C-alpha cells in the first residue's frame, strides 16, 4: 500500500468539480430522505405517538440522517467513481502523475464520505427547521464525526463493488440486494425489539443497524454500554473494507 | 549522448498474452525515439512501463538511473505523458484542468499560475482558458493534453499517438510543438502508426510487431537498407507479371506483388522509369521510398486485428 498526502489533492480535484453540481446534488440527496420524514414521520408519527417519551420523529430523524449518509456515499463511490474510471479515464491520467493508485482511490473514498456528510448535514438542518433538535451542541458535533466515520465505511464498501463492476447495471445488484434491505432491517423506521429473533440476528450483520443505533443515541443523548459494541463492529468492518476496496481498485487500475 | 532509458529483455504479459516479448533498447538523452507498429504491436504497453503505470512482467527497465516500477513517484515526477486517449477532466475548465494537475506535481501556486499562462500560450489556447472541455475541438483537446504533460517541466515526454484523429493543420501544429520541445533538450518518446509522423520527428525508431522489435535504426538509413531510394508502383493485372518482370526486374533491386499492384524498389529509378514509359503503362506511380514501405514490408500487408 502506497499512500501519501496526495490523497488530499484527489479530494481537492473532486471539490473543484463539485461546485458545478452542488445544487443538483443537494436536491437529489434531500428528496428521498425528506419523503421518509414526511410520510413516515408526520403521516405515521401521528398514529404511533410517543417513543420512549419523545415524539416519533426523534426516533426517525437520526435513522434517516445516517441512511442518507449511506446512500450518498455509496452512490458516489459507485456511479461517480465508475464514470471517472471507465468513461472519463480520469484515473489513468491521475496515476501517470506522482499520485499513486492508492492515493486516487483513498481520495475518492474520502470524497464519498464528504458527500455523505453533506447529505446528512442537510437532513439535520431540515430536521432542525422542523423543530427536531439533537439534545446538545456536543451531539451535533458528534453526529458530524459519526457521519464521516459511517461515510468512509459505505464509500469503501461501494469501492469493492465498483472494482468488479463491468457496467452501470451491476450496481443494481448492490443497491437492491444490499442497500435497500438494509434500509428496512436496520431499525431505521421501527425499533428492532418487536422483530422475531432470526430477524434481530440478521440485523446484527447489517452495518447500518449499528450506525443507526449510535446515531440515535447521540441525537437523543441516551448513551448505553452497548454502543461500544456497535462502534467496534463499524470500525473493524470499515478498516477491512477500506483496504480491500483500495486493493481491488488498484488491481483494476493497474494492469 | 548518454542513455536516459535502458530496457533489457523487457517483458509484459496480460494473463497468457505476451504484449511485449523480451525487447531490449536504449533511448539517448535529448533524442526523439519512436516506437512504430501496427495495432497491438506492444508500443503502448512498452511506454506504459516506462512511465511507471504498468508493472514489468520480467526484464529490467531503467529510467534516469532509477528502476521503473509502478510505485516510482520520482520517475513520474520527471515525466510528461501525452496519452493516446483524451483523458481530460470534463467537469473542469481548461485552466482548472491544469491547476488540478499542477497540484498533483506539487507545483507551488504562484509558479503554477505562471506556467499555466505560458503553456496556454504555447499551445495557443489562451482564449479558451475558461471554456469547458466539451466546448473544445479534438485538436484543442490534444493541445491541452500537451500543455498538461508539460506542467511539471519534464525531462522525458511520452507522446502516445499524439495526432490520432486530427486534421492536417492541428497535426502540423503539434509536430511543431514537439520539435520545439526537443530543441529545448527534452527527450521525446513517440509511439505512432503514422510513418510520416515518425519521419518528421524521430531521430531513431524501432519497428515493433507482435511484441517484438523487428528493426531498429535511423529512419532514412532504414529506408535505404530495406527498400532503396525510390518506389515504382504499377497497377496492372497479375497475369502480366512474368512479362514485366523479365524486362523490369533486372533494373530494380526488389519487387513485390500486392493485390492489384506490382511494386519495384530501386536505388536509382531512372532506367526503370524509361522502360516503363516505353512499355506505355499508364497506371504508374514513381515516388521516393518512405518509412511506410519499410513498415509494410516488415509487418506484412495483411490486416492486423
The predicted structure's pLDDT at residue B74: 92
Q: Is residue A179 part of a domain?
A: yes
| For chain B, percent of residues with pLDDT exceeding 70 | 98
Q: In this complex, is the C-beta atom of B101 within 8 Å of any C-beta atom belonging to chain A?
A: yes
Reported as a pLDDT band with limits 50, 70 and 90, residue B242 is confident
Query: Which residues in chain A have Cβ-Cβ distances shorter than 8 Å to B89?
Result: 13, 17, 88, 90, 93
**b/e string for B165-204 if b means 16 or more Cβ within 10 A?**
ebeeebbebbbebbeebbeeebbbbbbbebbebbbbbbbb
CB contact under 8 A, B90 and A94: no
User: Who wins on pLDDT, A165 or A32?
Assistant: A165
C-alpha–C-alpha distance, residues A248 and A229, integer Å:
28
Render pLDDT for B183-205 as a digit per residue (tens, 0 to 9): 999 999 999 888 888 988 999 99
The predicted structure's pLDDT at residue B93: 94
Q: Total domain count for chain A?
A: 1
CA nearest to B34, candidates B210, B223, B167, B193: B193
Cβ pair B35, B219 in contact under 8 A: no
CB contact under 8 A, A16 and B100: yes
Q: In this complex, is the C-beta atom of A57 within 8 Å of any C-beta atom belonging to chain B?
A: no
CB contact under 8 A, B105 and A94: no
- Kindly report the average pLDDT of chain B as a whole number: 90
At B139, list the grid cell. 485538436
CB contact under 8 A, B70 and A99: no
Testing the interface with B: which of A2, A5, A14, A96 to mutate, by most B Cβ within 10 A?
Answer: A96
Query: Which residues in chain A have Cβ-Cβ distances shorter than 8 Å to B105?
Result: 97-98
In the predicted structure, residue B305 carries a pLDDT above the cut 60: no
Predicted complex ipTM: 0.87
Q: Is residue A2 part of a domain?
A: no
The predicted structure's pLDDT at residue B301: 67
CA nearest to B6, candidates B197, B187, B229, B250: B187
CA nearest to B240, candidates B283, B184, B296: B283
Q: Is residue A123 part of a domain?
A: yes
Q: Is residue A134 part of a domain?
A: yes
The predicted structure's pLDDT at residue B302: 63
pTM of the model: 0.89
Render pLDDT for B72-123 as a digit per residue (tens, 0 to 9): 899 999 999 999 888 999 889 999 999 999 999 999 999 999 999 999 999 9
- Kindly report the average pLDDT of chain A as a whole number: 92
The predicted structure's pLDDT at residue B240: 80
The predicted structure's pLDDT at residue B131: 95
Query: Which residues in chain B have Cβ-Cβ distances shorter than 8 Å to A13?
Result: 89, 100, 103
Give the residue from chain B lying closest to A21, CA to CA.
B91
Q: Is residue A181 part of a domain?
A: yes
DSSP letter string, A181-230:
HHHHHSSSSS-GGGS-HHHHHHHHT-HHHHHHHHHHHHHHT---THHHHH
The predicted structure's pLDDT at residue A219: 95
Q: In this complex, is the C-beta atom of A249 within 8 Å of any C-beta atom belonging to chain B?
A: no
Could you identify the residue written with the cell 515518425? B198
**b/e string for B221-252 if b means 16 or more Cβ within 10 A?**
ebbeebbbebbbbbebeeeeeeebeeebeebb
In the predicted structure, residue B304 carries a pLDDT above the cut 60: no
CB contact under 8 A, A96 and B14: no
Q: In this complex, is the C-beta atom of B83 within 8 Å of any C-beta atom belonging to chain A?
A: yes
Q: Is residue A17 part of a domain?
A: yes
The predicted structure's pLDDT at residue B267: 84
The predicted structure's pLDDT at residue B159: 93
CA distance B77 to chain A (A): 6
In the predicted structure, residue B173 carries a pLDDT above the cut 90: no
Cβ pair A4, A100 in contact under 8 A: yes
Reported as a pLDDT band with limits 50, 70 and 90, residue B40 is confident
The predicted structure's pLDDT at residue B303: 60
The predicted structure's pLDDT at residue A175: 93
CB contact under 8 A, B76 and A16: no
Q: In this complex, is the C-beta atom of B267 within 8 Å of any C-beta atom belonging to chain A?
A: no
Q: In this complex, is the C-beta atom of A184 within 8 Å of any C-beta atom belonging to chain B?
A: no
CA nearest to B197, candidates B166, B225, B227: B166
Q: Is residue A25 part of a domain?
A: yes
Residues constituting chain B: 305
In the predicted structure, residue A37 carries a pLDDT above the cut 90: no
How far separated are the first and last CA of chain A, in Å rounded? Answer: 16
Give the residue from chain B lying closest to A4, CA to CA.
B73
Q: Which domain holds residue A162?
A: 7-253
CB contact under 8 A, A17 and B89: yes
Residue B282 CB coordination number (10 Å): 8
Q: In this complex, is the C-beta atom of B72 within 8 Å of any C-beta atom belonging to chain A?
A: no
CB-nearest to A254 from B70, B85, B148 is B70
CB contact under 8 A, B14 and A255: yes
The predicted structure's pLDDT at residue B81: 94
Q: In this complex, is the C-beta atom of B61 within 8 Å of any C-beta atom belonging to chain A?
A: no
Residue A101 CB coordination number (10 Å): 22
Testing the interface with B: which of A5, A12, A87, A98 to mutate, by most B Cβ within 10 A?
Answer: A98
Q: At what angle do helices A101-129 and A22-36 cross, to 10 degrees?
A: 50
CB-nearest to B87 from A13, A93, A99 is A93
CB contact under 8 A, B73 and A100: yes
Phi (first) and psi of residue A135, to 5 degrees:
-60, -35
Reported as a pLDDT band with limits 50, 70 and 90, residue B229 is confident
Q: Please give the average per-residue pLDDT across B145-167, as a whole number.
A: 91
CB contact under 8 A, B55 and A254: yes
Q: In this complex, is the C-beta atom of A100 within 8 Å of any C-beta atom belonging to chain B?
A: yes
In the predicted structure, residue B297 carries a pLDDT above the cut 90: no
The predicted structure's pLDDT at residue B17: 92
In the predicted structure, residue B167 carries a pLDDT above the cut 70: yes
Q: Please give the average per-residue pLDDT across A14-35, as a whole number.
A: 85
Render pLDDT for A78-109 as a digit per residue (tens, 0 to 9): 999 999 999 989 999 999 999 999 999 999 99
Burial of B259: CB neighbours in 10 Å, binned 0-12, 13-18, 19+: exposed
Render pLDDT for B49-76 as a digit per residue (tens, 0 to 9): 999 999 999 999 999 999 998 878 999 9
In the predicted structure, residue B179 carries a pLDDT above the cut 80: yes
Q: Is residue A1 part of a domain?
A: no
Render pLDDT for A132-166 as a digit per residue (tens, 0 to 9): 899 999 999 999 999 999 999 999 999 999 999 99
Reported as a pLDDT band with limits 50, 70 and 90, residue B280 is confident
Q: Please give the average per-residue pLDDT across A206-216, as a whole number.
A: 95
Amino acid at each position: 500500500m502506497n499512500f501519501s498526502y496526495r490523497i488530499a489533492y484527489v479530494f481537492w480535484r473532486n471539490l473543484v468539480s463539485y461546485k458545478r453540481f452542488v445544487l443538483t446534488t443537494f436536491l437529489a440527496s434531500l428528496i428521498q430522505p425528506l419523503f421518509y420524514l414526511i410520510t413516515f414521520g408526520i403521516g405515521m408519527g401521528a398514529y404511533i405517538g410517543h417513543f420512549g417519551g419523545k415524539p416519533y420523529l426523534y426516533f426517525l430523524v437520526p435513522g434517516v440522517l445516517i441512511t442518507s449518509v449511506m446512500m450518498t456515499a455509496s452512490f458516489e463511490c459507485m456511479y461517480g467513481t465508475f464514470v471517472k474510471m471507465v468513461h472519463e479515464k480520469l484515473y489513468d491520467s491521475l496515476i501517470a502523475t506522482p499520485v499513486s493508485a492508492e492515493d486516487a482511490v483513498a481520495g475518492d473514498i474520502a470524497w464519498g464520505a464528504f458527500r455523505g456528510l453533506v447529505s446528512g448535514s442537510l437532513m439535520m438542518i431540515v430536521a432542525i427547521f422542523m423543530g427536531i433538535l439533537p439534545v446538545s451542541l456536543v451531539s451535533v458535533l458528534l453526529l458530524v464525526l459519526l457521519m464521516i466515520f459511517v461515510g468512509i465505511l459505505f464509500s469503501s464498501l461501494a469501492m469493492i463493488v465498483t472494482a468488479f463492476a463491468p457496467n452501470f447495471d451491476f450496481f443494481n445488484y448492490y443497491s437492491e440486494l444490499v442497500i435497500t434491505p438494509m434500509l428496512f432491517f436496520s431499525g431505521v423506521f421501527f425499533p428492532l425489539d418487536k422483530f422475531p429473533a432470526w430477524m434481530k440476528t440478521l440485523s446484527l450483520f447489517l452495518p447500518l443497524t449499528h450506525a443507526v443505533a449510535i446515531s440515535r443515541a447521540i441525537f437523543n443523548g441516551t448513551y448505553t454500554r452497548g454502543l461500544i459494541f456497535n462502534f467496534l463492529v463499524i470500525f473493524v468492518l470499515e478498516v477491512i473494507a477500506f483496504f480491500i476496496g483500495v486493493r481491488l481498485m488498484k488491481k483494476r487500475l493497474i494492469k | 549522448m548518454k542513455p536516459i532509458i535502458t530496457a533489457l529483455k523487457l517483458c509484459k504479459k496480460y494473463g497468457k498474452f505476451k504484449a511485449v516479448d523480451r525487447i531490449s533498447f536504449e533511448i539517448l538523452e535529448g533524442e526523439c525515439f519512436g516506437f512504430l507498429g501496427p495495432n497491438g504491436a506492444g508500443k503502448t504497453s512498452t511506454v506504459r512501463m516506462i512511465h511507471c503505470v504498468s508493472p514489468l512482467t520480467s526484464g529490467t527497465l531503467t529510467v534516469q538511473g532509477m528502476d521503473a516500477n509502478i510505485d516510482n513517484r520520482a520517475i513520474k515526477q520527471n515525466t510528461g505523458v501525452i496519452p493516446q486517449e483524451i483523458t481530460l477532466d470534463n467537469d473542469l475548465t481548461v485552466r482548472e484542468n491544469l491547476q488540478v494537475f499542477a497540484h498533483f506535481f506539487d507545483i507551488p501556486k504562484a509558479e503554477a499560475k505562471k506556467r499555466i499562462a505560458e503553456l496556454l500560450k504555447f499551445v495557443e489556447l489562451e482564449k479558451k482558458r475558461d471554456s469547458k472541455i466539451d466546448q473544445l475541438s479534438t485538436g484543442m483537446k490534444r493541445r491541452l493534453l500537451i500543455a498538461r504533460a508539460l506542467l511539471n517541466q519534464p525531462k522525458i515526454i511520452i507522446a502516445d499517438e499524439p495526432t490520432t484523429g486530427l486534421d492536417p493543420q492541428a497535426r502540423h501544429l503539434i509536430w511543431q510543438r514537439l520539435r520545439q520541445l526537443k530543441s529545448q533538450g527534452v527527450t521525446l518518446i513517440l509511439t505512432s502508426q503514422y510513418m510520416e509522423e515518425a519521419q518528421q520527428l524521430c531521430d531513431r525508431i524501432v519497428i515493433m510487431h507482435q511484441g517484438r522489435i523487428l528493426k531498429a535504426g535511423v529512419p532514412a538509413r532504414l529506408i535505404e537498407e530495406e527498400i532503396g531510394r525510390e518506389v515504382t508502383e504499377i497497377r496492372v493485372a497479375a497475369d502480366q507479371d512474368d512479362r514485366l518482370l523479365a524486362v523490369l526486374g533486372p533494373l530494380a533491386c526488389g519487387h513485390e506483388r500486392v493485390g492489384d499492384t506490382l511494386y519495384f524498389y530501386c536505388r536509382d529509378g531512372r532506367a526503370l522509369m524509361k522502360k516503363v514509359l516505353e512499355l506505355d503503362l499508364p497506371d504508374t506511380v514513381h515516388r521516393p521510398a518512405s518509412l511506410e514501405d519499410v513498415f509494410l514490408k516488415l509487418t506484412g500487408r495483411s490486416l492486423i486485428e
